[in-house]
A and B are shown apart, each in its own frame.
Chain A
Amino acid sequence: MFACLHLPDFPVAAMMRLEPGLRRQPVAVVDGAPSLERVLAANEAARAAGVEPGMALLQAEALSGLKLRRHSLAQEAAAHAALLDAATAFSPRVEDAAAGTVLLDLAGLGSLFGPPEKIARALAARCAALGLECRVAVAANPEAARHAARGFPGITVIAPGQETARLGPLPVDILEPPPEILETLDRWGVRTLRALAALPAVAVAERLGQAGVELQKLARGEGARVLRPVEPPLCFEETLELEHPVELLEPLAFVLSRLLEQLCARLAARALAASELRLTLGLEENVSSFTFQVSREPSQPETRNVKRETVHERQIRFPQPMLDGKLFLKLLQLDLQSHPPPAPVIKVTLTAEPAPPRPGQAGLFLPLAPEPEKLELMLARLGRVVGEKRLGAAELLDTHRPDAHRMNRFKVASPGSRVGTARNVKRETRNPHARLAFRRFRPPLPARVQARNGRPVSVFFRGARATVLDLAGPWHASGEWWTEQGWAREEWDVTLATAEGSASYRIYREGNAWFVEGEYD
C-alpha cells in the first residue's frame, strides 16, 4: 500500500502554516511585479467569495474581508520540507512527488501503526501538528493514491481492487493530460475518470496513441510504477516575511515564537534536537536613524544614526542538543535585548542545526550540576546583568605574566573528568594546611611608598598611610621582553599596620611607579 499527502492550494497552505489565525478566513496569495500583481492561489473560502487565480490585485482588493498575502518561495520550501518531515516520521521510503505532494510506501508499517485507516489518521494528525491541513489518501499503487489525494478532501482509503470504482467520479483533468488530449476527450463528452475507464482500450490506442492508453490505465487506477524514494535533507529553516517593519522586541517575539514552534515540531518529527540556532533578520533599507526598543516602556535615548547592514545575524550555540521552544525563545529574546538590530525588521529567518538528542536518563548518583536548559537560560540572564564576557570558567594561560587567564564558556563538566591547567601550578590534592589565598585589586592600586635604605617603610594607598611592620623582597620578575607587551617589575610582600591589627599585601614597582597588587587573605 502507498499513501499520498497532498496540500491543496499549496501557496496558501504554506502561508497559513505560520499564520494559523487565518485558517477559516478567505485568503489569497498574490504574486507579480508591482502594479501587475495577480492572484496566484486562493483557499476554498476565498473561491466561494468569488476569487479566482489570475484575478488582478485591484479586483481582489475590491472584495470585502479577503486577506491578501505576498507569495513567498521560502515559506513554500519550508512547508514542503515540513511535509517531507511528517512522511519521514512514518516511513523511510518517501517520494518527493511535487510541490505540496509527497508519496510514501506503507509496506511493513502495519505492525507498528496498525491498519491503513489508522496510519492515514496518524499521518493527518502529524501534519496538523506541523500546521498543515493536508489530504491523505491510501491506495494500492502510488498513482491511485496521488489522484485520490488530489481529488477527495480529508482522509481516503481505497481497498485493493476498488480503485476504478472509487476514482470514477473524479474529473479527467486531475490526470493532467496534454491539452490536445483533454480537448479531444471533452469533445467526446468524456469528463470523468469512470467514462474514460469505460472506453474500449483498442479504440483509445487507435485514436489517442500510447499517451491515451497510459491515461486510461491511470483512470482505472492500474498504475504500477515504482516509488522513487529520496533522502530528505536535514535542513531546518523557517522564514517569515513581514507585511510591516517591526520596531519592537515584543511583536518580534511573537514571530519568533511561531517560527520556533514549527522548527521544534519538525525536529521532533525527525527525532532530532538543535545544537545551534541561527537568526537572520532582514532589515529595512534607507533608515537614517533608528532605535530598536526592547520594551514599550521609555528607554535610554540611544539612537543609531548609521545603518549600512541589510541583515542582522545572531547565533546561539548550545553545549548539548536541546529541543525546547520556550527556552529557545527566551534565549533569543535575551540575546536580542543585548544585541538589538540597527533597523526595523522586515524578514525573519530562523535556522536550526540538527543533532541527535542527548540520552534522556542520567545516573542516580551523579554529582550536583545544574540542568543544561536551566544553565543556558541562567547564563544568558547573567550575561545581561554583568556582561557576557565577564562570566564563565577561568582558564590559566601558559605564561608567568601576573593575572594571566582567559574566560571560557561555563559548561557542566562530565562526572569523572578532571580538567588540568596549562600552567605549571602546584595543585593541591589534599592539604594538611589551608593554602594562603590572594585577592587581587583590578586594576592595581597606585601607591606612594616611602623607602629607607632601599626598603619600604610606609605605604600610602586608599587615602591612608600604613607603616610596614614586616617585609620580604624584592624579587625581580620580567617576561615577554621580546614582544611589545613585555613587562618587568620588582615585587615585595609587606605586612602593614591597620586599625584591626595587621594585613599583608603584595606591592610592586614598575619603572618609578608603585602599585598595590592585592592582599593576602
Chain B
Amino acid sequence: MTPALLRARLQAALGDRFPAALSPAARPAPELVSTGVAAVDALAGGLPRGALTEICGPASSGRTTLLLAALAEATRRQEACALVDAGDAFDPCSAAAAGVELARLLWVRCGDVSRFPTQPETRTVKRETFFLEQALRAADLLLQAGGFGVVALDLGDVPPALACRVPLTSWFRFRRAVERTPTVLLLLEQEPCARTCASLVLQLQNKQSAFSSQHSANPSLDPTHARLLRGLRLQVEVVHSGLRKLPRAAGIEFESCAAWAG
C-alpha cells in the first residue's frame, strides 16, 4: 500500500472526527483597511493587515500620493505609523496637507551623509548600498517592536537594480514579522522586488500632468505665470493580489489634486 493511499484511507476514516489534524489550518482572510483613495479601494479592496503591499512606479507616478493617503487614513484612525525614508525624500508639509497627523508618524530618515564612513580603508560599500542597508535594519527594528498600524519603507529613490538585489530572505523575514499582527507593511519602490513575499502589488503610472488654463482650446496662449499645476492623472493597476481573484489587467484611473488647486 502506497503512503498516499494509506493517507487517503486515514483521511476518509477519521476526517470527520479530527478535521483539524488532517487538514492544513485555514488561513483567515486578512482584514483590509482603506488606502484613503476611493478608486484604489474599489479596485484592490484596500490594504491588507499583516501582509506586505508593494506600491511601484517611476517618478511622478503617484506612489507617494498613495502612501500619504494611506498614512493619513491610518493616523485618522489614531494609529501610530512609521515611515523609513531611505532617500530622505519625505516632505512634512506635503504630508500635513494630505491629512497626515505628523505627531503620530515616526519618521526615520536614512541618508545622513555624515554617518557614511569617510575613510577609504573602512568604506567597503557604495553610499546607496549603505543607506539601503540602514533602511532595512531600521524597518526590521520597527517590525520587531510591533504596535504600529502602518510601517512604510520608502525605497522610491533607490535604483531598481539595487533594490532587486535585496535578498528575498529579508522580505520573507519582514512578511513573517507582520504576519498575525494588525500592521500594514508598505513598500514603495520603482519596480517590484519582494516577489512572492508581497500579498498585493500595485503598479502606478503617470498618464498626464494637469495644468490649469484660461484658454482651454489653445493653452500655449496663456502666460506661464497665469497657469498652475493642478495635479496628476494617474493609472493604478493590480499586478498581483494574493487576496482575491481579479480580472486580468485590472486597472483604473484616478486624479491627484494639488493643495493649491482646491
Inter-chain contact A473/B258, CB cutoff 8 Å: no
User: Taking A377-B145, A386-B134, A425-B96 as contacts, is the C-beta distance between A470 and B254 under 8 angstroms?
Assistant: no
Inter-chain contact A437/B92, CB cutoff 8 Å: no
User: Taking A300-B122, A426-B97, A427-B99 as contacts, is the C-beta distance between A392 and B147 under 8 angstroms?
Assistant: no
Q: Which residue, of B36, B96, B109, has the highest number of chain A Cβ atoms within 10 A? A: B96
Inter-chain contact B63/A521, CB cutoff 8 Å: yes
User: Taking A386-B108, A442-B88, A475-B225 as contacts, is the C-beta distance between A429 and B67 under 8 angstroms?
Assistant: no
Q: Which residue, of A426, A432, A469, A472, has the highest number of chain B Cβ atoms within 10 A? A: A472
Cβ of B226 to closest chain A Cβ, rounded Å: 8
Inter-chain contact A386/B115, CB cutoff 8 Å: yes
- Inter-chain CA distance A433–B97, complex, in Å, is 13
- Inter-chain CA distance A438–B67, complex, in Å, is 11
Interface string of B215-227 (1 = CB under 8 A from A): 0000000001101
Q: Which of A427-456 contact B (CB under 8 A)?
A: 427-442, 455
- Inter-chain CA distance A390–B135, complex, in Å, is 12
Interface string of A493-511 (1 = CB under 8 A from B): 1010010111110000000
- Inter-chain CA distance A470–B208, complex, in Å, is 11
Q: Which residue of A lies closest to B58 (CB)?
A: A500
- Inter-chain CA distance A386–B132, complex, in Å, is 11
Interface string of A377-389 (1 = CB under 8 A from B): 1100110011100
Say yes or no: is B166 at the interface (Cβ < 8 Å to chain A).
Answer: no
Interface string of B107-139 (1 = CB under 8 A from A): 111111011000000100000000000100110
Inter-chain contact A426/B182, CB cutoff 8 Å: no
Say yes or no: is A304 at the interface (Cβ < 8 Å to chain B).
Answer: no
Say yes or no: is A235 at the interface (Cβ < 8 Å to chain B).
Answer: no
Number of contacts between A and B (CB, 8 Å)? Answer: 253
Inter-chain contact B228/A472, CB cutoff 8 Å: yes
Inter-chain contact A431/B229, CB cutoff 8 Å: no
- Inter-chain CA distance A377–B142, complex, in Å, is 11
Inter-chain contact B147/A504, CB cutoff 8 Å: no
The one of A403, A410, A434, A442 in contact with B256, judged by C-beta atoms closer than 8 angstroms, is: A434
Q: Which residue of B lies closest to A453 (CB)?
A: B224
Inter-chain contact B229/A434, CB cutoff 8 Å: no
| B: contact size bracket | 35 or more
- Inter-chain CA distance A426–B99, complex, in Å, is 9
Say yes or no: is A394 at the interface (Cβ < 8 Å to chain B).
Answer: yes
User: Taking A367-B149, A439-B89 as contacts, is the C-beta distance between A394 and B107 under 8 angstroms?
Assistant: yes
Say yes or no: is A177 at the interface (Cβ < 8 Å to chain B).
Answer: no
- Inter-chain CA distance A54–B177, complex, in Å, is 64
The one of B58, B98, B182 in contact with A437, judged by C-beta atoms closer than 8 angstroms, is: B98
- Determine the chain B residues whose CB is within 8 A of the CB of A317 once the complex forms: none
- Determine the chain B residues whose CB is within 8 A of the CB of A435 once the complex forms: 65, 68-69, 94, 97-99, 256-259
- Determine the chain B residues whose CB is within 8 A of the CB of A408 once the complex forms: 103
- Inter-chain CA distance A492–B224, complex, in Å, is 9
Say yes or no: is B209 at the interface (Cβ < 8 Å to chain A).
Answer: yes
Say yes or no: is B158 at the interface (Cβ < 8 Å to chain A).
Answer: no
Cβ of B44 to closest chain A Cβ, rounded Å: 14
- Inter-chain CA distance A442–B107, complex, in Å, is 15
Chain A: interface residue total (CB-CB under 8 A): 75
Q: Which residue of A lies closest to B228 (CB)?
A: A472
Q: Which of B17-25, B75-83, B241-249 contacts A (4 or more CB under 8 A)?
A: B75-83
- Inter-chain CA distance A437–B71, complex, in Å, is 12
User: Taking A370-B145, A428-B98, A504-B229 as contacts, is the C-beta distance between A470 and B107 under 8 angstroms?
Assistant: no
- Determine the chain B residues whose CB is within 8 A of the CB of A475 once the complex forms: 225
Q: Which residue of B lies closest to A517 (CB)?
A: B91
The one of A378, A498, A520 in contact with B232, judged by C-beta atoms closer than 8 angstroms, is: A520
- Determine the chain A residues whose CB is within 8 A of the CB of B58 once the complex forms: 498, 500-501, 503
Say yes or no: is A73 at the interface (Cβ < 8 Å to chain B).
Answer: no
Inter-chain contact B91/A504, CB cutoff 8 Å: no
Q: Which of A168-176, A239-247, A250-258, A411-419 contacts B (4 or more CB under 8 A)?
A: A411-419
Say yes or no: is A45 at the interface (Cβ < 8 Å to chain B).
Answer: no
Say yes or no: is A391 at the interface (Cβ < 8 Å to chain B).
Answer: yes
User: Taking A396-B102, A521-B60 as contacts, is the C-beta distance between A381 and B209 under 8 angstroms?
Assistant: no
Say yes or no: is B174 at the interface (Cβ < 8 Å to chain A).
Answer: no
- Determine the chain B residues whose CB is within 8 A of the CB of A503 once the complex forms: 58-60, 206
Inter-chain contact B64/A521, CB cutoff 8 Å: yes
- Inter-chain CA distance A421–B90, complex, in Å, is 17
- Inter-chain CA distance A436–B65, complex, in Å, is 6
Inter-chain contact A403/B102, CB cutoff 8 Å: no
Inter-chain contact A441/B224, CB cutoff 8 Å: no
Say yes or no: is A471 at the interface (Cβ < 8 Å to chain B).
Answer: yes
- Determine the chain A residues whose CB is within 8 A of the CB of B99 once the complex forms: 427-431, 435
Q: Which of B143-166 contact A (CB under 8 A)?
A: 144-149, 156-157
- Determine the chain A residues whose CB is within 8 A of the CB of B229 once the complex forms: 436, 472, 493, 495, 504, 520
Inter-chain contact A472/B148, CB cutoff 8 Å: no
Q: Which residue of A lies closest to B231 (CB)?
A: A436
Inter-chain contact B64/A386, CB cutoff 8 Å: no
Cβ of B161 to closest chain A Cβ, rounded Å: 15
Cβ contacts A to B, 22 pairs, < 8 Å: A300-B122, A368-B149, A369-B148, A370-B80, A385-B134, A385-B138, A392-B106, A395-B92, A413-B101, A419-B102, A419-B103, A421-B96, A434-B62, A434-B69, A434-B98, A435-B258, A470-B211, A473-B225, A474-B225, A502-B209, A504-B209, A520-B258
Please report B residues at the A interface, Cβ cutoff 8 Å: 36-38, 58-69, 72, 77-80, 88-99, 101-112, 114-115, 122, 134, 137-138, 141-142, 144-149, 156-157, 182-183, 205-206, 208-209, 211-212, 224-225, 227-229, 231-232, 254-259
The 6 closest A-B pairs by CB, nearest first: A370-B147, A428-B99, A503-B60, A419-B103, A378-B145, A437-B64
With A418-B101, A437-B65 given, name 6 new contacts (CB 8 A): A386-B134, A390-B109, A437-B91, A437-B98, A439-B89, A520-B60
